[in-house]
Structure 1
């Protein structure tokens, strides 16, 4: 008798079908194992895909592009009010434009400097380096002194000068120390006193700023401003302007306003 074998999709002899039945029974567990293994593989693939998709979703966005560099105009500023000058000792000063009442001077001792226009100079010998130069106001109440230092550093020289000033009458220390922007190359001592060597009006309180620095030629110099105690800002302007324009002897320096110079 012929029967229809659904697995083979064919009509087969009934006896032959019975002979094939044990083989199918033996093959059934193997088929089940194959199905189970296939399911495990699909599950593992699905898990890997899920992990990848989750990681891709949470991946951080790329960092934003760096800010654009400032233009040359932004770096240098615009106009005299934004200008800043670096002195030979590395300290920042006010604008490189001379105050209205100042003039640039090429001194006989070889250095360049800027002082009030109506001030006059006198010189006296020094035991070291250039002569001691004093620029004084017409009334003799204000003065700027320039000289060269023998000590190995501006601060070492300032310590010696401060110890001497402290022994004079009326000494009152305001501030003293290295200038933060150039600790090894510049230092300053600001004080009040009633006794100054060579002062025409002894006993009057004077305001003093003693600024010592290393210049472009590698040598050390001092700029010392003296004036009445009630004009502290005037001495500060005098020191900052002189320091900005100072250029040591036999040295080529740019002008503070960037226009060149010597």
Structure 2
């Protein structure tokens, strides 16, 4: 017996119709599996996209690049938290003194060009006077109170050591003179020098401040000539200040009409 297949628009036998029905059922199963697979793929893809999108939102923002201006201050978290201003402080809480710029004497000294042609470093406000002798002019710079002094003059002897020995052997020492040690032979930048430390109670024409401490340094300068630098101060406040004064004086000293090394490289 044959029946009419509406879908195929033809007459088919019973056996053929059964095979067609089986093919329809099999195709329906395959289509169902394919649909479920597609839904699964879409679902997994959606979850992956959602996870990526959430992860992207949590990513840190790109780090910006800042142009640092040379010499501009840089703030730190510690500065922001503690409110510091970046200045150095000493143990007492005061500002730490900044070092002197190159070519500038340390405070409170200033560079002077003396009338005799010397380059010197003396404390600000000191008063100059000069005494012209037979061999050279003795230049003095005194503090306003007269309790400190820097003296400079040319030496006529054959060597710095011989000059100091001659002075020690001569008459007319200041009152209460006390030599603190032997004459010390030293070296100033490869040139001969000698030094004498002593104390005295009185100097003619100088104020009575008690015991004076004197550092007398005689040396050969860059011009090959011999000079004397002497520093005077009160012994009551210790002797380090006169030693420091002499160090500064030697660093900045330059004889007349000479080009000298930079201060500190003597």
Settle same-fold status: TM greater than 0.5. yes
Alignment equivalent of 2:255, drawn from 248, 252, 256: 248
| 1:51-82 C-alpha deviation (Å, 9 max, x unpaired) | xxxxxxxxxxxxxxxxxxxxxxxxxxxxx98x
Cα distance in 2 between the residues matched to 1:109 and 1:253: 16
Cα distance in 2 between the residues matched to 1:111 and 1:132: 12
TM-score (norm 1): 0.57
Number of aligned residues: 164
Q: CA deviation at 1:167?
A: 4.2
Q: Tell me if structure 2 keeps the 8 A contact 1:172–1:191.
A: yes
Q: Structure 1: which 5+ runs fail to align?
A: 1-79, 82-94
Partner of 1:122: 129
Task: Indicate the structure (1 or 2) with the bigger Cα radius of gyration.
Answer: 2
- Give the direction of change, closer, same or farther, for the CA distance of 1:135–1:103 in structure 2 (3 Å limit): same
TM-score (norm 2): 0.56
- More relative contact order in 1 or in 2 (CA 8 Å, sep 6+)? 1
- Give the direction of change, closer, same or farther, for the CA distance of 1:249–1:167 in structure 2 (3 Å limit): closer
| 1:74-108 C-alpha deviation (Å, 9 max, x unpaired) | xxxxxx98xxxxxxxxxxxxx97622100011101
Q: CA deviation at 1:121?
A: 0.7
Farther off after superposition, 134-143 or 193-202: 193-202
| 1:12-35 C-alpha deviation (Å, 9 max, x unpaired) | xxxxxxxxxxxxxxxxxxxxxxxx
- Give the direction of change, closer, same or farther, for the CA distance of 1:193–1:164 in structure 2 (3 Å limit): farther
Partner of 1:59: none
Cα distance in 1 between the residues matched to 2:103 and 2:172: 34
Q: Tell me if structure 1 keeps the 8 A contact 2:112–2:119.
A: yes
Cα distance in 1 between the residues matched to 2:125 and 2:184: 32
Q: CA deviation at 1:222?
A: 0.4
Partner of 1:209: 215
Cα distance in 2 between the residues matched to 1:220 and 1:237: 22
Q: Structure 2: which 5+ runs fail to align?
A: 1-97
Cα distance in 1 between the residues matched to 2:199 and 2:159: 24
Partner of 2:178: 172
Q: Is 1:195 matched up with 2:202?
A: yes
Q: Tell me if structure 2 keeps the 8 A contact 1:106–1:113.
A: yes
Alignment equivalent of 1:109, drawn from 116, 126, 132: 116
CA RMSD in angstroms comes to 2.5
Cα distance in 1 between the residues matched to 2:183 and 2:104: 28
- Give the direction of change, closer, same or farther, for the CA distance of 1:173–1:152 in structure 2 (3 Å limit): same
Alignment equivalent of 2:241, drawn from 230, 234, 247: 234
Pairs within 5 Å for 1:18-29: none
| 1:132-162 C-alpha deviation (Å, 9 max, x unpaired) | 1000001000001111011011111111222
Partner of 1:142: 148
Cα distance in 2 between the residues matched to 1:228 and 1:211: 18
Cα distance in 2 between the residues matched to 1:214 and 1:240: 15
